[in-house]
Structure 1
Amino acid sequence: MVSKPNMQKDGVRSNGQRPSSFHGDGFSPKRAWSIEDSEELYRISGWGDPYFSINAAGHVTVSPRGDRGGSLDLYELVKALKLRNLHLPLLIRFSDILQDRLERLNAVFAKAIARYNYNGIYRGVFPVKCNQQRHLIEDLVRFGAPHQFGLEAGSKPELMIALALLDTPEALLICNGYKDREYIQTAILARRMGQNTIIVLEQLEEVDYVIEECRRLGIRPVVGVRAKLSTKGIGRWGTSAGDRAKFGLTLPEILQAVEKLRAAEMLDCLQLLHYHIGSQISAISVIKNAIREASQIYVELAQLGAAMQYLDVGGGLGIDYDGSKTNFYASKNYSIQNYANDIVAEVKEACDERNLPAPTLISESGRAIAAHQSVLVFDILGTSDVTVEIPEPSDESEHLIIQNLYETYCSISVENYQEAFHDATQFKEEAVSLFGFGYLSLTERVRAERLYWACCASILAIVRQQDYVPDDLEDLEKIMASIYYANLSVFQSAPDTWAIDQLFPIMPIHRLDEEPTQRGTLADLTCDSDGKINQFIDLRDVKHILELHALKPLNASSAQSNSNASNHEPYYLGLFLGGAYQEIMGNLHNLFGATNAVHIQLTPKGGYRIEHVVKGDTMQAVLGYVQYDVEDLVENVRRKTEQALQERKITLDEAQQLLQNYEHSLSRYTYLSP
């Protein structure tokens, strides 16, 4: 893991804790907690600008049009959607953010082209694999039309989507991925109906397929080659480039492709160079090195006689998940304008040196376009806390281990807290051992454990105030953390947190004018020990706890009016920047299905309208995915109730209630709801 530089800014100390104006348990303020404190704690201005912020009520606000005006209170929006019978977890997509991201990408390339007097143009494409949801792709095509923004397909199913939905004149349809004859035939034939398909050759046999299908169909295709650059990527997807990369042609193979096309009198069809150095590139130096190498390959192909017109820089444009603006895998040390400037400047220099016309620049930025547009909001069902009580005094009648633990508790100070921790741990382990041999009663062991946790709580309060945390105390925060049970499935809604340790900003969407006095990790609904989130964004590296608020118990009147609800007031968290990849990669662990989703767009008068509602999976739907026939299931349960009736194990009323519950559940959301 790449660590961020050891920095000290925004009031954050070297141990990652808040400054000394906060003391005691770490969040007992000398002054009242403010929304500015929450902004700093959750780093929302770092990763959320210009779309997310906190208002005076302590609620997260969403500005879907960025700095062009208009905002929504996310907490109030969620409450309004719940009144429309849209239960949590709820995926909220903001169409205006999608449009704004697309316009920003086109604007930075336009600015770079003007700055460097670049004689070519920019034509972006959105990789369908990043988020294949129909309403999102339809929005992208609509928002991209003024910019002739196209699509990229990496498989035959994605090609089917792109051919049906992309209807923008001059927009490109880049055809990537493994290809069989049918894929290539379809892409070539699509040119007859006005689609600007470009077939990117990634395997040598694809060159032969293209030549054969061109002759058979009598249609001249436009093709490109994907180069395996020597420039290596960085981070999780660093192996996307290099000689042993999964996709693309080595330089000797590219020369072979050129000669095959020349022999077939089709070298004029070779018009594009493509490369890809990975997703979420955090360092601008990698981008600079890659475009420098690719630019030289491009001009060399032109010198060999290819009718080169396009240079496709692939994906990799990162987003700042943690707001640190560093060369960290969950961040990036460059702006989107830096990215465009470096690409345009390098390509212009290479072409000018050979007196070649500048190519049309293409990028396949999926994450940078789609990540911000959706927010997953989920509620907390309950917590599991480490119970810490002020211990009763010990006396000589108690076991020596208990006396030692109490003495350790009473002696804890700034001068000896590390030694006290080691002593308390040793005494606790001895208590467990004595209990195992029968020398300590259950009551005595419980007393020992309570004293141990009291020691830990006292030591942790001191640790939080230190500039440096000793290695042997680093895990104390995690040990003492509460578990917050979240109404979601990590495997369905945030699979990358489990699969590749991806970091997403997670924070409460309300109560941000209150101090978060709890530290916690998140556990989902699945019966899987990996169904948890215990890595969170931080200014330095990664933190393993999230600052949260204690759940508020319902008052008597609220409890009466919410008899089916939990015994605490709703507490909502949001997972942000998850609009890329997560929705399509989710799986049905424990048969928790797709969540409810809603598309929101601002209206000219400052309100909003719900463009689309996509209901989440019902139990009937997810059972169908795994080949269960619901009618058969109901009939099987009915027969079992009849058998139980015959054997007088159940009453008729009970049998009817069971069947009603069974059938009703099958039509319900797979997640928990009031």
Structure 2
Amino acid sequence: MDHFNYQNGELYAENLPLAEIAKEVGTPFYCYSTATLERHFNVFSKAFDGANALVCYAVKANSNLAVIKTLAKLGAGADVVSEGELRRALEAGIPANKIVFSGVGKKPHEMELALNAGILQFNVESEPEVRVLSEVATRLGKVAPIAFRVNPDVDAKTHAKISTGKAENKFGVPWQDVSRIYGEAATLPGIKIQGVDVHIGSQLTDLDPFNNAFMRVRELVDQLRKEGHEITQVDLGGGLGIPYDGTIPPAPENYGQVALQAMGNLGVQLIFEPGRLIVGNAGVLVSEVIYVKQGAERKFVILDAAMNDLIRPAMYDGYHHIDTIRQPNEADGTEMVDVVGPVCETGDTFAKGRELPPVSAGDLVAFRSAGAYGAVMASTYNTRPLVPEVLVNGDDFAVIRERPALEELLKQDKLPEWL
């Protein structure tokens, strides 16, 4: 459920017409709904009522400070993967002791910042990383709380580019080496082993891979405790999907049942890292039709949004439902079109052979489910400025990231003295 619905013949974000926002901020722009963010976080959290659980929002899904702050006010922690994301989480008011630091390539200066901040946990992904972390922590006179991210070699049955839990993926330490790695880490100064971490992929629409991974983690916790390690945290990652194309994924309640049944009475704090599930359907990308072009074999709807604004269709063949801002009239029917952007790449295609109501130049459309991995993955390719982001709250809205002027982009380049 989200709060983007047709009212009075046009598409609204909560109580505001998207067309009115477009008049003020221009197109394209991202629009997020506060009510949807709050609902999705609360529904997910409710799945673990009564359990010792911490929901750490995966900042990589949407790192706008206003989005993070909205979730921080609800009690969210944060899962971060860089110094920049850590700084964003702290700036948005998330306490350091509710932050976990993931990622395969943490650098010493990032570790130092996190140690000085006093984060809850480092999710360590390799033996070289834990040795560097030991050196940094010892130099600072601190102790780094860690969980190793283990790779359970479970097929998440998701897109190859967002699968993270198979043996062939770059993430985590090999399952068969876990005992040795934990044993060696326990001898390192400045390291406190406290947990186990697993994350098998993103946009999962089946609970079986989760159950398989969670049951393996439970067995691993029992094994590590027998080997003398005190395991107090289990990070089960994120990855539960959203209905991009109408496929209905499992409800958070059912996901929660699988997690709690697998973990049983282990006596640990459970950590979850939802990202897309919280913000995906809380955002839309609004764009204007520039031209409608009849080709030799296809009709093209050319928008002012491009692949640099929303990369998922080009990178992942990602599907986004497209709505016209003006509520369609059944009498107008639909037509089959390719929806494309203005960038000089054939890959700048949002949809092929999509049935849409007829549109003309100047009409507005909205890409649904664009709140996750949209603005955060945008670029300035073709010297196109990043698009603004807007947050709606009831009948009010604020621009939470402005569209930079082209002059600002040009000033970022510096000419050498010989030119």
Q: Tell me the TM-score normalized by structure 1.
A: 0.58
SS at match of 2:67: helix
Q: Summarize the Cα distance change of 1:123–1:188 in structure 2 as closer, same or farther, 3 Å threshold.
A: same
> How many equivalent residue pairs?
416
Whether the aligned pair in 1 keeps the contact of 2:141 and 2:190 (CA below 8 Å) is: no
Q: How far off is 1:627 after superposition?
A: 4.4
Distance 1:594 1:210, change over 3 A: closer
1 or 2 for the larger relative contact order (CA 8 Å, sep ≥6)? Answer: 2
Mapped to 1, the partners of 2:72 and 2:277 lie a distance apart of 16
Distance between the aligned counterparts of 1:366 and 1:505, measured in 2? 20
Using the TM superposition, give the Cα deviation of residue 340 of structure 1 relative to its aligned residue in structure 2, in angstroms.
0.9
Residues 80-105 of structure 1: CA distance to partner in whole angstroms, max 9, x if unpaired?
33453x21112212222212211111
- Asked if structure 1 preserves the Cα contact closer than 8 Å seen for 2:138 and 2:190, the reply is no
* Equivalent of 1:142 in 63, 73, 90: 73
Aligned-pair distance for 1:205?
1.8
- SS class of match (1:530): coil
* CA pair 279-550 structure 1, distance change in 2 beyond 3 A: closer
Q: Structure 1 residue 260 and structure 2 residue 187: aligned?
A: no
Q: Is the 8 A contact 1:524 1:532 kept in 2?
A: yes
Matches within 5 A, 1:39-78: 49-55=1-7, 57-62=8-13, 71-72=14-15, 77-78=17-18
Structure 1's 109 and 507: CA in aligned 2 closer, same or farther, altered over 3 A?
Answer: same
Q: Which runs of 5+ in 1 are unaligned?
A: 1-48, 63-70, 114-119, 326-331, 352-356, 387-452, 454-478, 536-543, 552-567, 603-607, 630-674
* AA of the residue aligned to 2:11: V
Aligned equivalents of 2:84 and 2:402: distance in 1? 23
- CA–CA distance in 2 between the matches of 1:547 and 1:217? 60
Counterpart selection for 2:326 from 499, 510, 519: 510
Quote the offset at 1:485 in angstroms: 1.7
Deviation at 1:363, TM superposition (A): 1.1
CA 1:83–1:239 in structure 2 vs 1: closer, same or farther (change >3 Å)? closer
**Which residue pairs with 2:40 in the alignment?**
101
Task: Give the 3-state SS of the residue equivalent to 1:598 in structure 2.
Answer: strand
Match of 1:220 in 2: 143
**Structure 1 residue 297: deviation in Å?**
1.1
Q: Aligned residues: percent identity?
A: 18
Tell me which residue corresponds to 1:378: 287
**Aligned alpha-carbon RMSD (Å):** 2.6
**Counterpart code for 1:530:** G
Aligned position for 1:233: 156
Residue of structure 2 equivalent to 1:314:
237
Change (3 A) 1:617 1:580: same
Question: What does residue 245 of structure 1 align with?
Answer: 169
Change in Cα spacing, 1:251 to 1:235, as seen in structure 2 (3 Å) is: closer
Do the aligned residues in 2 keep the contact of 1:235 with 1:281 (CA within 8 Å)?
yes
Counterpart Cα distance in 2 of 1:99 and 1:484: 34
Residue 615 (structure 1) aligned with residue 407 (structure 2):
no
Q: In structure 2, what residue type is equivalent to 1:122?
A: A
Amino acid at match of 1:53: N
Given that 2:98 and 2:120 are in contact with CA atoms closer than 8 Å, whether structure 1 keeps it comes out as: no
**Residue in 1 aligned with 2:354?**
545
Match of 1:37 in 2: none
1:162 to 89, 95, 101: 89
What TM-score, normalized to structure 2?
A: 0.90
Task: Give the conservation status (yes or no) of the 8 Å contact 1:516–1:550.
Answer: no
Matched residue, 2:53 = 122
Q: How does 1:39-438 map to 2 (within 5 A)?
A: 49-55=1-7, 57-62=8-13, 71-72=14-15, 77-84=17-24, 86-110=25-49, 113=50, 120-143=51-74, 145=75, 149-168=76-95, 171-191=98-118, 196-237=119-160, 239-264=163-188, 269-325=192-248, 332=249, 334-348=250-264, 351=265, 357-385=266-294
Instruction: Write the deviation string for residues 346-371 of structure 1: whole angstroms up to 9, x where unpaired.
Output: 110xx4xxxxx421111111110111
> Which of residues 300, 309, 312 is equivalent to 1:483?
300
Q: What amino acid does structure 1 have at the position aligned with 2:335?
A: Q
Deviates further, 369-378 or 232-241: 232-241
* Contact 2:18/2:325, CA 8 A, preserved across alignment: no
- 3-state DSSP of counterpart to 1:344: helix
The whole-number CA distance in structure 2 between the counterparts of 1:243 and 1:182 is 29
Give the C-alpha shift of residue 231 in structure 1: 1.4
> C-alpha separation between the residues in 2 aligned to 1:361 and 1:134?
25
SS in 2 for 1:612: strand
Which residue of the partner structure matches residue 601 of structure 1? 393
Shift of the alpha carbon at 1:343?
0.6
SS at match of 1:255: helix
More helix by share: 1
Select the structure of larger CA radius of gyration.
1
**Aligned with 1:109: secondary structure?**
coil
Moved over 6 A (4+): none
Pairing of 1:496-535 with structure 2 (within 5 A): 496-514=312-330, 515-535=332-352
Cα deviations by residue, 1:574-602 (Å, 9 ceiling, x for unpaired): 00111111212122232122113222111
TM-superposed CA distance for 1:493, in Å, is: 1.8
SS of corresponding position for 2:45: helix
Q: CA 1:526–1:301 in structure 2 vs 1: closer, same or farther (change >3 Å)?
A: same
